[in-house]
Structure 1
């Protein structure tokens, strides 16, 4: 029979060491509510069973017992990418469990959370700004609670799509017995976690963003069919969360004019700005889903598929640019000008807005492809072509004045341009009886247009050759597909002769293929 002293011992000690002693790899007395080491160092003691939060490099190094060299050599588990077969059903336990698993996975790549977040916001975020950096870091430093399960999955998805130089190997100073986690293992783990959380938790914007980024990874890896299937599920989640509805008249943001003290007004302004950020982050996420689905279907093996998303109205407000998502100054939010999708001359339209406008043209030609009457279809495509060439001219001028900002819009517009004119060339294969007009003039015009598009792609390739592009972040997600479309047109022209023009086409083909090998 246990005596009273043994019962007291069981109650006053934790089953496992605290997180700080675990990170130090030192002995812990497991005292409750705080171990003696944490009491002496005046640290917040937490054991593995309560909620925890992600530890950034700065947080790890803030512990007095952890020197920089010690904090860099915290060892990953022997098999960090092996998941438990099930996740806890209790939301509290689920958030804590995923927090620990994802943190361990990220550390197994030899990086910290702040490493991958910096890489992400310098890379993919410039082309697809769906995450507010302000709200992202607020979630990371949430005091006293683990981030939500959806946020943990999003963090792992960010790790998958970000340029991670050390993925595939651990740090040089790590133990030789540690197993490295490559990008494919991270991707498969993230897909598994996404499915488990989706089946056990309500849909959240973070979970939708994670699904979006994983589909983008598939697309960047040259798997547009997989990306298209993934974005379909992502769109269904977005519809469920109703983020496709953006009603500015009932926006949660209102200018801070609440009567009262200055302190009360400041608090109201901050709350309103956060509400505005949350709404715009959701709206940008929906825009990204619409853009990506149309981009993916252009390169899918079967393009005759129905789209899941409906394109946002041409009168709708353009998406929010990344600098606004990062700062959200309450004094200027209420003065943001209304910029509709159809307004091509709007000087305040920047990178993401221009990408949305380029996708509007892409959506229009995809709809035109479905017109059964070939003459009507041709008239529609020629009308779109005139407007698209004007839009490309605007983009060229803006690209010359601002480096990289308009790269994604340019790749989408060029991919649209090639899709349109290659489709017109394909009309030659239709029976002559189906057309009421000769195609010779249209075909010649499309060849001229495609040569111009090819020269633009070659110019982009030559610009990249002069740029330091040691990481993927310097190249837009759709770059490889524009290059391949240009190569398809060269192949479509047939065998080349010995003339000066043919020599230029051969040189262009060599440059394009070399660029694919470099960036793929």
Structure 2
């Protein structure tokens, strides 16, 4: 497969596959399996395989593809001979399979990149748009297996939902797309050294699993990304002063900033996914950066690194909460910092010491939320993830207090005082979450068939489920009209989200 501009061009064999020649039927000559063999889920073998657009590739560089281990579009197992020594042939095989999966899902490379960078990229800006486009424009993109996988991972976030219809085949296609990526990713990871594109593909894979109600799988995937990040050396902490002494070379600037944002993405996602695990006994792989560590740069800056000087980049430390006009990704990092502090507070054994620590943390979190909410109202969508993480942290904090006071009582302050305070906080959080759901269900996004429910950050469904569970267990002598209506709104939202 080759690239023509930014578009893919498939390489086809000159002759039909062996089965179609035996049947004396027309073969579409798709690689690695023709359409007929794919439809029958049988092995597709080409006898004399040659590619007119690349005479350097001969039959010895190809092999018959055994059938898939599960019913997904990824029906090719990469040639072990090529995998042992990753070469251009290995990258070409991965690229060929990625192209086939994308084509079978009715997508094109240009559409995927355009939709991704105009959409989900702003939620998690870890990929440099310029660097990625440059990788597509090089003469032999097929030699890079990790970049091919990154393109396939991006396609998971570019299927526009329809607010009025969601057919079963569409769901099956997305499931097949996910399984294809999972299969190919395991093969490439086993045969290739860690790289930033490979880590980013895994990061997107974990986020997709999280968004689709698989937090345990997402946590395992993000842990794997963390291991690769350590191996690749992108975990090195960067202090507030680091920017003044770094290399001003443009390519180095791209690599350094993209690596830093990727590491922040791992740190944020690992803690976000960890919140939703039933067992919190598992250790975290990543170490949260210190307070003087530099915050990640925003998507608009990451996309313009080729025209910016390194000295003009923002140099804001993590601990600077009141910095004006701080972007959405930086706020996500700060919100996750509170989540990390909460996790550490739970490790304090003494109940009174823990409660005092949680009380101070509660005050700081609410102050931070008061900073983020106005920004979220001014620029909808940019700061929603930070606000959702903060709300989730508050909910976990006060729910922990309520459940802990059921089994032990504090010595220095009345148990009832703590309970009243936490229930009031949960009531406030519940009203915020319900107001968001009511707004999202109100009208479709202008100019599309999507409701705003389809544009929410991935953390919101978990908050909605947590609040719905709280309302079901809420102690009240008589259920109020507000509580009943609130549960109906949240259930309608969750039903629409799960379609």
Among 194, 208, 215, the alignment partner of 1:224 is 215
Tell me the alpha carbon deviations over residues 108-135 of structure 1, each in whole angstroms, 9 at most, x when there is no partner.
1011011122222233211111101111
Alpha-carbon distance change, 111 to 497 in structure 1, aligned in 2, over 3 angstroms: same
Consecutive unaligned residues of structure 1, counting only runs of 5 or more, are: 1-13, 26-32, 36-44, 51-77, 172-179, 256-271
> How far apart in 1 are the matches of 2:77 and 2:188?
13
Paired with 1:331 and 1:127, the residues of 2 have a C-alpha distance of 22
- TM (norm. structure 2) is 0.80
Equivalence for 2:203:
212
Kindly indicate whether the alpha-carbon contact (under 8 Å) linking 1:139 and 1:147 is maintained by their aligned counterparts in 2.
no
Q: Which runs of 5+ in 2 are unaligned?
A: 1-10, 16-27, 35-49, 59-70
Q: Distance in 1 between matches of 2:244 and 2:186?
A: 32
Q: CA deviation at 1:153?
A: 1.3
- Cα distance between partner residues in 2 of 1:389 and 1:16: 63
Distance verdict in 2 for CA 1:315–1:473, change over 3 Å: farther
TM superposition shift of 1:336: 2.4
Q: How does 1:424-443 map to 2 (within 5 A)?
A: 424-432=401-409, 435-443=411-419
Distance change >3 Å, CA 446–CA 103, structure 1 → 2: same
| Superposed displacement of residue 482, structure 1 | 1.1
Q: Is the 1:110–1:170 Cα contact (8 Å) retained in structure 2? A: no
In 2, Cα distance between equivalents of 1:241 and 1:251 = 23
Q: CA-atom RMSD, angstroms?
A: 3.0
Instruction: Return closer, same or farther for 1:467/1:279 CA change in 2, 3 Å cut-off.
Output: farther
Distance 1:153 1:377 in 2: 45
Map 1:3-14 to 2 at 5 A: none
How far is 1:446 from its partner? Answer: 1.0
1:506 matched to 2:484: yes
> Offset of 1:329 from its aligned partner?
4.9
2:125 alignment partner in structure 1: 129
Would the aligned equivalents of 2:243 and 2:311 in 1 still touch at CA under 8 Å?
no
Match of 1:235 among 226, 246, 252: 226
Alpha carbons 1:109, 1:181 under 8 Å: kept: no
- 8 A contact 2:434–2:490 mirrored in 1: yes
Map 1:25-174 to 2 at 5 A: 45-46=53-54, 49=57, 80-84=73-77, 86-87=79-80, 88-89=82-83, 90=85, 91-164=87-160
1:185 to 1:339, Cα distance in 2 relative to 1, 3 A: same
Q: Give the aligned partner of residue 292 of structure 2.
A: 315
Check 1:424–1:34 CA distance in 2 against 1; reply closer, same or farther (3 A cut).
closer
Q: Return closer, same or farther for 1:468/1:277 CA change in 2, 3 Å cut-off.
A: farther
Residue deviations 1:359-409 (CA, integer Å, cap 9, x gap): 000000011011111111101100010010011011111112112110111
Corresponding position of 2:472 = 491
Contact 2:13 2:29 in 1 (8 A): no
TM-score (structure 1 length as normaliser): 0.77
**What residue number does 1:477 align with?**
458
Matched, 1:463 2:449: no
Do the aligned partners of residues 280 and 341 (structure 1) sit closer, same or farther apart at CA in structure 2, a change above 3 Å counting? same
Whether the 8 Å CA contact 2:348–2:354 is kept in 1: the answer is: yes
Higher Cα Rg, which structure:
1
Q: 1:277 to 1:93 in 2, by over 3 A?
A: same
**Equivalent residues of 1:168, 1:183 under 8 A apart:** no
Q: Counterparts of 2:135 and 2:488 in 1: how far apart (Å)?
A: 47
- Alignment partners' CA distance in 2, 1:47 and 1:516: 54
Q: Is the 8 A contact 1:95 1:148 kept in 2?
A: yes
Q: What is residue 519 of structure 1 aligned with on the other side? A: 497
Determine whether 1:454 maps to 2:430: yes
For residues 238 and 441 of structure 1, what CA distance do their matches in structure 2 show? Answer: 46
Matched, 1:249 2:242: yes
Please tell me whether the aligned partners of residues 354 and 409 of structure 1 are also in contact (alpha carbons under 8 angstroms): yes
Contact 2:161 2:454 survives alignment (8 Å): no
Q: 1:200-236 deviations in whole A, cap 9, x for unaligned? A: 1111111111111111111111111111122111111
1:336 aligns with 2:313: yes
- The C-alpha deviation readout for 1:283-311, integer Å capped at 9, x for no partner, is 11111111111111111111232111111
Call closer, same or farther: CA 1:436–1:323 in 2, change over 3 Å: same
Q: How many aligned residue pairs are there?
A: 433
- Following the alignment from structure 1 to structure 2, what is the Cα–Cα distance between the partners of residues 144 and 169? 38
For residue 255 of structure 2, what is the aligned residue in structure 1? 278
The Cα of 1:462 is off from its aligned counterpart by: 2.1
Please state how far the C-alpha of 1:331 moved relative to its aligned partner: 4.2
The aligned residue for residue 327 of structure 2 is 350
**Cα distance in structure 2, aligned partners of 1:426 and 1:16:** 65
Report if aligned partners of 1:208, 1:234 keep a CA contact under 8 Å in 2: yes
Per mean C-alpha deviation after superposition, the further-off stretch among 437-446 and 385-394 is 437-446
Q: Is the 8 A contact 2:206 2:222 kept in 1?
A: yes
- Aligned pair in 2 of structure 1 residues 200, 292: CA closer, same or farther (>3 Å)? same
